[in-house]
A and B are shown apart, each in its own frame.
Chain A
Amino acid sequence: MRAASFKFRPRYQYIGFLMILPVMGLYCVFTLYPIASSVVLSLHDWSGIGPKAYVGLDNYAEAFADPMVWLSFRNNLQYCLGLIAVGVAPGLILAALLAGERIRGRTVFQTIYFLPRLLSMVVVSIVWGWIYNPSFGLLNSIIRWLGAKDFSIGWLGNASFAMWAVVVAGGWTYFGFCMVIFIAALQNTDPSLSEAALIDGANWLQRFFSVIIPQISNVITMVLILTLIDAFKIFDIIYLMTLGGPGRKTEIMATYLYREAFRHNHFGYGSSIAMILTAFVLLVSIVFQYSREKRES
């Protein structure tokens, strides 16, 4: 009897619907619905109160003609390049140093490098704001101590340095994270290759470029893509450290659209910039996902 009922049990377990209901319900109300509303809102002019005026694609036309959109897009790209230089590259070097031969205190080093990742951007902005302070900041003190006696730059208020100053603060929280990913990748590689290169007399640099990097090139690409996506999603660090200033030198897409929407009440226009940002991030993710699946198959 039991065997018979087992044989004829229904193909579908409809209780599954009930089990995904909380997740899917909340997701629909607080994620899908807002995304759809953003799309709709981006086709309207709206000040936040009163009726919405349908304007078709005018907001998008305006956005693509808006030099501020392009400037902030470029600043996002600059942030990305900076993050690769002060985050991904040091993370890769440290991973190679730690994953190679036996290193005493490896866990301690790893624990330390990863530590800044725990801090909220508010904390990072306070600490680095002090480091960059023109009168008492650590950075100027070090430069003065090195010999430039009357040296003083307000790093975050300086048009040529502000973005790089923010990038260094961002990279400080990022390189340890990259290192953890690279170490995980290196642990899955074949150690005999590195040993063979060592026996052949390759020095550390040669091994780094011709053995280590090629072995984890997939992971390096992944981290670079992640960095690109992250660099377009950032908001906190810019909002807190420079508010886009000085003179919009560090304005990025997220701070620009936040200002347009919540400060100038251009909610339709802000939404259209948000949609452009989203389209870019999705495009990068999907192209990357697609090319990875293609390579793996």
Chain B
Amino acid sequence: MKRSKSRLAKALRYALLLVAAVYTLVPIIALAITAIRSEADLNQGPFTIPTQLQALANFERAWSVGRIGVYAGNSLMITATVVALVVCCTTVAGYAFAKLSFPGRDGLFYLLLLGMMVPFQAMMIPIYFLFNSLHLLNTRLSVILVLAVDGLPFGTFLMRSFIRGIPDELSESAKLDGCGELRIFRSIILPLTSPAWMSLIIFQSMWAWNNFIVPLMLVYDEKIKPIPLGLMYFQGRYTTEYTVIAAAVIISILPLVLVYIAFQRHFTMGITAGALKG
């Protein structure tokens, strides 16, 4: 009796887990199916069983007419630069905040933490006019700067907590051997920080790749739009070309999904840590 009851409970648990998995996956699967079928076949609606497939034509059209290739190139460039900027600046600053002592260190660090709590809306309007007066509106540089600076407080926070965990004995002994602070940083601390980079890189890449409001505000030229903005305009212009839009969406999410599957653990860790910053 008891055994059958526990078996029932177990079946119920798996059923719940499966329902949630189906709920999560159905929109994504429907999207993938839409991306590989023909326009004519879709007239029955995007969520019917496909009969005619033409994946290549859809992706080709998304790439050429939809300019997804251009948008993706812009996003790639923006993302790579943002990540490089954030990782370099915050590793150095994180070390200084963690291991060096200088006047006003903690005060400055708390000032930096303020940036993690303040919503983007608090700085959005002046940022627009700042770039306007610098004649940098509608440039990739403006998007890169805003996205990178937005990542600095959290990045510094993450690197500081990580570097604090590195035992002092290592740098102490190097100091006794006559190493300066920069030398200690370069040859002792730097090689040890790479595990923290993984989370930071993943979190920042996703943030930069997906961000919408910053380019929405700063960029209007088709040639420099990143992929979320490009997708939105493409969808607005060709509303009914569902198959091509779906193909474009697949192209836009593929890089992240591949990285996610390859580095699943780092990914969830990085993003969870990033969200807990508030």
A277 with B31: in contact, given A13-B100, A181-B272, A226-B275 (CB under 8 Å)? Answer: no
Interface centre among A93, A107, A109, A141 (most CB of B within 10 A): A109
Among all A-B residue pairs, the 4 with the closest Cβ atoms: A136-B45, A34-B123, A120-B210, A37-B126
A126 with B125: in contact, given A229-B278, A277-B119, A285-B278 (CB under 8 Å)? Answer: no
Contact indicator B28/A115 (Cβ below 8 Å): yes
From A2, A19, A109, A253, give the contact of B96 (CB < 8 A).
A19
Contact indicator A15/B100 (Cβ below 8 Å): yes
A111 with B264: in contact, given A20-B97, A120-B212 (CB under 8 Å)? Answer: yes
Supply 19 further A-B pairs (C-beta < 8 A) apart from A27-B112, A130-B46: A20-B97, A22-B92, A31-B118, A31-B150, A34-B122, A37-B126, A38-B125, A48-B129, A94-B20, A111-B260, A112-B24, A113-B24, A115-B24, A120-B210, A122-B228, A123-B231, A131-B30, A136-B47, A239-B216
Q: Is B249 an interface residue, CB under 8 A from the partner?
A: yes
Give 17 A-B contacts (CB < 8 Å), ordered by A residue: A19-B95, A22-B89, A24-B112, A26-B152, A30-B145, A90-B20, A111-B264, A116-B27, A117-B271, A118-B206, A122-B229, A136-B46, A138-B47, A204-B13, A253-B121, A275-B122, A278-B119
Closest chain A residue to B256 by CB distance?
A118
Contact indicator B101/A115 (Cβ below 8 Å): no
Chain A residues engaging chain B, CB cutoff 8 angstroms: 2, 6, 11-17, 19-20, 22-24, 26-27, 29-35, 37-38, 41, 48, 90, 93-94, 97-98, 103, 107, 109-123, 126-128, 130-131, 135-138, 141, 172, 175-177, 180-181, 184, 203-204, 222, 226, 229, 232-233, 235-236, 239-240, 253-254, 257-258, 261-262, 267, 270-271, 274-275, 277-278, 281-282, 285-286
Residues of A within 8 A of B231 (CB): 120, 122-123, 126
The distance in angstroms between the C-alpha atoms of A48 and B14, with both chains bound, is: 58
The distance in angstroms between the C-alpha atoms of A2 and B176, with both chains bound, is: 8
The distance in angstroms between the C-alpha atoms of A27 and B154, with both chains bound, is: 12
Contact indicator B125/A12 (Cβ below 8 Å): no
A285 with B100: in contact, given A34-B123, A38-B123 (CB under 8 Å)? Answer: no
The distance in angstroms between the C-alpha atoms of A262 and B23, with both chains bound, is: 37
Residues of B within 8 A of A275 (CB): 122
Residues of A within 8 A of B9 (CB): 203-204
Contact indicator B252/A23 (Cβ below 8 Å): no
Contact indicator B235/A126 (Cβ below 8 Å): yes
Residues of A within 8 A of B256 (CB): 118-119
Closest chain A residue to B250 by CB distance?
A123
**Interface members, chain B 171-196 (any A CB < 8 Å):** 175-176, 178, 181-182, 185
A141 with B45: in contact, given A38-B125, A113-B20, A226-B275 (CB under 8 Å)? Answer: yes
Q: Is B127 an interface residue, CB under 8 A from the partner?
A: yes
Contact indicator B209/A120 (Cβ below 8 Å): yes
Contact indicator A26/B89 (Cβ below 8 Å): yes
A120 with B228: in contact, given A27-B115, A281-B119 (CB under 8 Å)? Answer: yes
Q: Is B66 an interface residue, CB under 8 A from the partner?
A: no
The distance in angstroms between the C-alpha atoms of A289 and B166, with both chains bound, is: 26
Closest chain B residue to A286 by CB distance?
B117
Q: Is B25 an interface residue, CB under 8 A from the partner?
A: yes
Closest chain A residue to B249 by CB distance?
A123
From B17, B111, B121, give the contact of A98 (CB < 8 A).
B17
